[in-house]
Each structure stands twice: as structure tokens, then as C-alpha cells.
Structure 1
């Protein structure tokens, strides 16, 4: 399930992933928020708090996630992924940031405030 993180600056889309994440979650929660952010400011700052195993994303969710990433490919400014999954944090820091034109940084769950501060900086 994807839940909004509402107490963030207006230029950041914050999503909290828990339990199983489906295509419908991506379609109804993530995509409209990203589309609105791009419409309002022309770029994306995205904070993902991942408190579910990456394996809990259904195949449909992964496919939709890739599609939305490609749809807004040139709009990614900053992506912060907050998780205790070392492999996801490593991927964010070493691979993901090479796949998008913006910046990407992984943070452990106990550093959520650092992630919010980093993504909020110009």
C-alpha cells in the first residue's frame, strides 16, 4: 500500500510504502501526485519511505513504476529513498542515480529527517 506523506514542502512528493504495493497503488496514489507536481513546477523531488520489502511490489506495480519514471524522465530533480534494506540503499546510491538526470540518495530509516533536509535543499 502507498500512503502520502503530507507534512512536506509543496515541491516534494512523499510516499510511504508498506505491505504489498500493487499497480492500482501506483495508478491512484503515485502517478496523480507526480503529474500534478510536474504541472505545477516542471520538476520532481520525490521522497520514498520504503518500509516493505522490495519483493512486495507486484509485477504490475514495477511495470507502472518504470512507466511513470520514463514518462517524466527529464523532470527528475531529486530522489531520496529511505529504507533499512541495504541492497535498495546501495542501488539508489550507486546505480539509480546513474539512470536519472537528477540526483538520488539512499538513507536508512533512522535518517528520515536527514533525507527530508537533503531533498529540500537547493
Structure 2
């Protein structure tokens, strides 16, 4: 299940993954929020939290996750993945290089820093603009995120 995160800075989308992440979670919660942001011409500044309440990703969820890369490349500005799951952090680090825009993995204790990082540049970007630049592109491991 996907729960929206509350009390985020304007322009930042945030979600907490609880239990099993299913394909329907993407279709019902995640995709509409992303599509609305893109339709409004705003860049995607995203925070995803997978804490101890996360159990697993279903096969259908994996397929829907892969479809996220089908969104306009210029829409992706910053994506922060917040978790203490070493395996998930490692997978995210490997695949983070495929995500357009800037991508970082943060440990749970740095959730607020992840949100602040994802919010950088909100309002200055529109879909089609490249304001993030090469300094933020790529992935960091959870251990490197605070450096």
C-alpha cells in the first residue's frame, strides 16, 4: 500500500510504502499524483520512504515501477529514496543511475534531509527545463548521503 506523506514543502510529492506494494497502488495513488504534476507543467520532486512497515514488492508492482521511466525524462528533477533496508538501498543505488534527474538514497534517520534535498529547485523548474545539472545526477549509497 502507498500512503501519501503529509506536511511536505510545496511542490514535493512524498509516499510511504506499507506492507505489500501492488500494481493497484501505482494505478490508484502514485500514478495519478505524478501525472497531475506533469500535466501542471511542474517538475517531479519525489520522496519515497520504505521503513520497517514495508514488506515486499509484488511482481505487478515491479512492472508498474519499471513503467515510471516512461514518463517524460525532463519531468524528473529530484528523487529521494529513504530506507534502512540494505538490500533495497543497494538496488536503488544501482538502478538510480537509470532515473533521469538527480537521485539519492538516504537512511531513515535523515528523512528530513531527504525531503529538504528533494525540495531544492521547486518552482524554478518546469517540465522541459534542465535545472538540476550534473552535480546531482547519479546515486549515492545510504552511507554516503550525508557527506
TM-score interval (norm. to shorter): 0.7 to 0.9
Per-residue Cα deviation, 1:48-91 (whole angstroms, up to 9, x for no partner):
001214xx111111111111222333311100000001232233
Count of aligned pairs: 119
TM-score for both structures, normalised by structure 1: 0.88
Tell me which residue corresponds to 1:39.
Answer: 39
Which sections of structure 1, spanning at least 5 residues, go unmatched? none
Unaligned 5+ residue runs, structure 2? 122-147
Counterpart CA distance in 2 for 1:10 and 1:30 is 17
When you count helix as a share of all residues, which structure comes out higher? 1
Q: Does 1:66 align with 2:50?
A: no
Is the counterpart of residue 114 in structure 1 residue 113 in structure 2?
yes
Q: Larger radius of gyration, structure 1 or 2?
A: 2
What residue is the counterpart of 1:8 in the other structure?
Answer: 8
For 1:36 and 1:113, locate their aligned partners in 2 and report how far apart those are by CA, in whole Å: 24
Moved over 3 A (4+): 90-93
- TM-score of the aligned structures, taking structure 2 as reference length: 0.74
Secondary structure at the aligned position of 1:104 is classed as: strand
In 1, Cα distance between equivalents of 2:97 and 2:58? 24
1:77 corresponding residue in structure 2: 77
The equivalent residue for 1:25 is: 25
CA apart distance, 1:92: 3.2
1:89-108 equivalences under 5 Å are 89-93=89-93, 95-108=94-107
